[in-house]
A and B are shown apart, each in its own frame.
Chain A
Amino acid sequence: MTTVSLDTLKKRLRQTTWLPLGIMAALLLSATSFILYQERQGQLKNTEHALADVVQSQESLISQEVYMGQDQALKIRIDSILSNWNQKYPGGIACLEFLVSPPTGEPRLISGCSSDTIDSKSLRYEETSVKAGNKVLAKIRYSVSRPTRIWDIFPPVLIIVVLVGLFAAVFTHFTLVSRVETRVLAPLIDKIAESERNAAIAQTAQMMAHDIRKPFRLVQLALARLHEVKNTEVRELSAKVSEDFETSARSIDAMIRDILDMGRDVNLSVEPVSVARLVEQLHETLARLYPENRVKFSFNIRQRHRVMADREQLMRVLINIGENAVQAVRLSGDLRISSKQSIRNGHSFIDIAIANNGPEITDEDRSKLFTPFFSRKVAGTGLGLAVAKKIVAEHKGEIVLTSTPTETCFTVSIPEATRDAVASAPDTRPVSESEKSLKTTCEQTILIFDDEAAVRSHWRKYAKEHDFQAAWDFNSWEDFVSQNGFALTPGAIAFIDVHYQGSKYDGIEIARSLRDLGVKRIYAITNDPETANASGLFDSVFGKDIPTNFAQLVG
Chain B
Amino acid sequence: MKKLLFLLLTTMASCFVHADTFRVAGIYPSHTFGHFNCTCGLEGACITEAAIKRARLEGMNISFTQVNKDWNIFKTMEAAETVVTHRYDAAVGTLVSDDALAAAPILEAAGIPFIVPTATNPGVTAGKRFVTRIPFNDRRQAFLLARLATTELAAKRIVIVRNSSTKYSDFLGTEFARNIRKNHPEILVKDFPIVEGFTDFKALATRFLAVSPDLVFVPLPQSQLASLYVELVNRKAALTMLASDTIEKKPMFLEMIAPTSDLIQFIYPKHWDGTFSSPESARYLSLHRKYCGEYEPSMTTMAAYDAAELVIKALKAKPNARGEDLIKEIHSLKFHGMTGLIRYGTDGDPVKPLELYLIKDGDVVHWRRYE
A interface residues, Cβ below 8 angstroms from B: 58, 60-61, 63-65, 67-68, 70, 72-73, 76-77, 80, 132-133
Closest 7 CB pairs of A and B: A73-B164, A73-B165, A72-B164, A73-B195, A77-B195, A76-B195, A61-B196
Of the listed residues A58, A65, A70, A80, the one surrounded by the most CB atoms of chain B closer than 10 A to its CB is A70
Q: Are B101 and A68 in contact (CB under 8 A)?
A: yes
| B196 cross-chain contacts in A, Cβ below 8 A | 61, 64-65, 73
Contact of A60 among B72, B101, B164, B170 (CB under 8 A): B72
User: Closest chain A residue to B78 by CB distance?
Assistant: A133
Say whether B165 contacts A64, CB under 8 Å.
yes
* A65 x B102 contact (CB < 8 A): no
A63→B196 CA distance, assembly (Å) = 12
Chain B interface size, as a band, is 10 to 19
> What is the CA–CA distance of A208 and B164 in the complex, to the nearest angstrom?
116
Q: Which residue of A lies closest to B163 (CB)?
A: A73
Are the C-beta atoms of A64 and B195 separated by less than 8 Å? no
A67–B74 CB distance below 8 A? yes
Q: A70-B165, A73-B165 are in contact. Are A61 and B74 (CB under 8 A)?
A: no
Known: A58-B197, A61-B165, A65-B165. A72 touches B74 (CB 8 A): no
Residues B74 and A132 in contact, CB atoms below 8 Å apart: yes
Q: Assess whether A70 is in contact with B166, with CB atoms less than 8 Å apart.
A: yes
* Residue with the greatest number of chain A CB neighbours at <10 A, chosen from B164, B167, B195, B198: B195
Q: How many angstroms between the C-alpha atoms of A207 and B258 in the bound complex?
A: 120
- Chain A residues with CB under 8 Å of B170's CB are 70, 72-73
**B98 contacts A64, CB within 8 Å?**
yes
A64 near B72: Cβ-Cβ < 8 Å: yes
Q: Please report the C-alpha to C-alpha distance between residue A77 and residue B167 in the assembled complex, in whole angstroms.
A: 15
Please encode chain B, from 36 to 51, with 1 for each CB lying within 8 Å of some chain A CB and 0 for all others. 0000000000000000
A77 vs B72: C-alpha distance when bound (angstroms): 18
Min CB distance A88 to B, Å, is 13
Q: Does B297 interact with chain A (Cβ within 8 Å)?
A: no
B155 at the A interface (CB under 8 A): no
For the complex formed, measure the closest distance between the CB of A190 and the CB atoms of chain B, giving whole angstroms: 79
Supplied contacts A67-B73, A73-B196, A76-B193, 5 more A-B pairs, CB within 8 Å: A61-B165, A68-B167, A70-B170, A73-B165, A77-B165
For residue B68, give the distance in angstroms from its CB to the closest CB of chain A: 16
Who on chain B is nearest to A77 by CB?
Answer: B195
Query: Residue B60 at the A interface, CB < 8 A?
Result: no
- Expressed in whole angstroms, the Cα–Cα distance for A70 and B167 within the complex equals 7
Identify which of A61, A63, A68 contacts B195 (C-beta below 8 A).
A61
Contact, CB under 8 Å: A63 / B164: no
Residues of A within 8 A of B252 (CB): none
Shortest B119–chain A CB gap in Å is 13
B194 close to A (CB within 8 Å): yes
Which residues on A sit within 8 Å (CB–CB) of B74? 63-64, 67, 132-133
Bound complex: CA A68 to CA B74 (Å):
11
Q: How many whole Å from B251's CB to the nearest CB in chain A?
A: 24
Contacts of A67 in B (CB 8 A): 73-74, 102
Q: Which residues of B lie under 8 Å from residue A68 when comparing CB positions?
A: 73, 98, 101-102, 165-167
Give A479 Cβ to nearest chain B Cβ, in Å: 123
- A70 proximity list for chain B (CB < 8 A): 164-167, 170
Q: Kindly provide the distance from the CB of A77 to the nearest chain B CB, expressed in whole angstroms.
A: 5
Tell me which of B101, B195, B198 contacts A65 (CB under 8 A): B195
**Alpha-carbon distance between A60 and B35 when the two chains are bound, in angstroms:** 13
Q: A64-B98, A68-B98 are in contact. Are A76 and B164 (CB under 8 A)?
A: yes
Alpha-carbon distance A64/B200, docked complex (angstroms) = 21
B175 to chain A, nearest CB (A): 15
Give the chain B neighbours of A58 by CB distance below 8 A.
Answer: 197
Output the nearest chain B residue to A131 by Cβ-Cβ distance: B74
A45 to B198, CA, bound (A): 26
Measured between beta carbons, the chain B residues less than 8 angstroms from A64 are 72-74, 98, 165, 196
A296 to B103, alpha carbons, bound, how many Å? 135
- State whether B72 touches A73 (Cβ < 8 A): no
**Assembled-state Cα–Cα distance A77/B194 (Å):** 8
- Kindly state the separation between the CA atoms of A67 and B164 in the bound complex, as whole angstroms: 13
Can you give 5 contacting A-B residue pairs, CB < 8 Å? A64-B74, A70-B164, A70-B170, A76-B195, A133-B74
Distance between B223 CB and nearest chain A CB, rounded to angstroms: 13
In the bound complex, CA of A132 to CA of B74 (Å) = 7
How distant is the Cα of A77 from the Cα of B101 in the complex, in angstroms?
A: 22
Mask, B74-85, CB within 8 Å of A = 1, is 100000000000
A133 to B102, CA, bound (A): 15
C-beta contact mask, B150-165 vs A, less than 8 Å → 1, else 0?
Answer: 0000000000000111
B193 to chain A: which residues have CB within 8 Å?
A: 72-73, 76
- Give the residues in chain A near B165, CB-CB below 8 Å: 61, 64-65, 68, 70, 73, 77
Binary flags per residue of B197-213, CB closer than 8 Å to A gives 1, else 0 = 11010000000000000
Cα of A65 to Cα of B196 in the assembled complex, Å: 9
Per the bound structure, the CA–CA distance linking A64 and B74 in Å amounts to: 8
Cβ proximity bits B59-100 to A, threshold 8 Å, 1 near / 0 not: 000000000000011100000000000000000000000100
In the bound complex, residues from chain B placing their C-beta under 8 Å from that of A76 are: 164, 193-195
> Which of the listed residues B74, B101, B102, B167 has the most CB atoms from chain A within 10 Å of its own CB?
B74
Q: How far is the CA of A132 from the CA of B196 in the complex (A)?
A: 18
Nearest CB of chain A from residue B99's CB, rounded to whole Å: 10
Instruction: Mark out the residues of chain B between 131 and 188 whose CB falls within 8 Å of any chain A CB in the assembled complex.
Output: 163-167, 170
Shortest distance from the beta carbon of B230 to any chain A beta carbon, whole Å = 20
Inter-chain CA distance A86–B197, complex, in Å, is 18
Residue of B101, B167, B197 touching A61 (CB-CB under 8 A): B197
User: Hey, which chain B residues are within 8 Å of A132, CB to CB?
Assistant: 74
Chain A residue at minimum C-beta to C-beta distance from B97: A68
Q: How far is the CB of A62 from chain B (nearest CB, A)?
A: 9
Instruction: Give min CB distance, B71 to chain A, whole Å.
Output: 11
Say how far B139's CB is from chain A's closest CB, in angstroms: 18
Interface residues of B in 5-59 (CB under 8 A from A): none
Residues of A within 8 A of B98 (CB): 64, 68
- Which among A58, A64, A73, A133 has the highest number of chain B CB atoms within 10 Å? A73
- Asked if B198 and A80 sit within 8 Å, CB to CB, the answer is yes
User: How far apart are the CA atoms of A63 and B198 in the complex, in Å?
Assistant: 16
Complex Cα distance, B96 from A64, in Å, reads: 13
Give Cα A6–Cα B48 distance, bound, in whole angstroms. Answer: 110
CA distance A79 to B80 in the complex (A): 34
A443–B335 CA distance with the chains assembled, in angstroms: 166
- Closest A residue by C-beta to B203: A83
- The complex places the Cα of A63 from the Cα of B101 at a distance, in Å, of 15
Q: Whole-angstrom distance between the alpha carbons of A73 and B166 in the complex?
A: 8
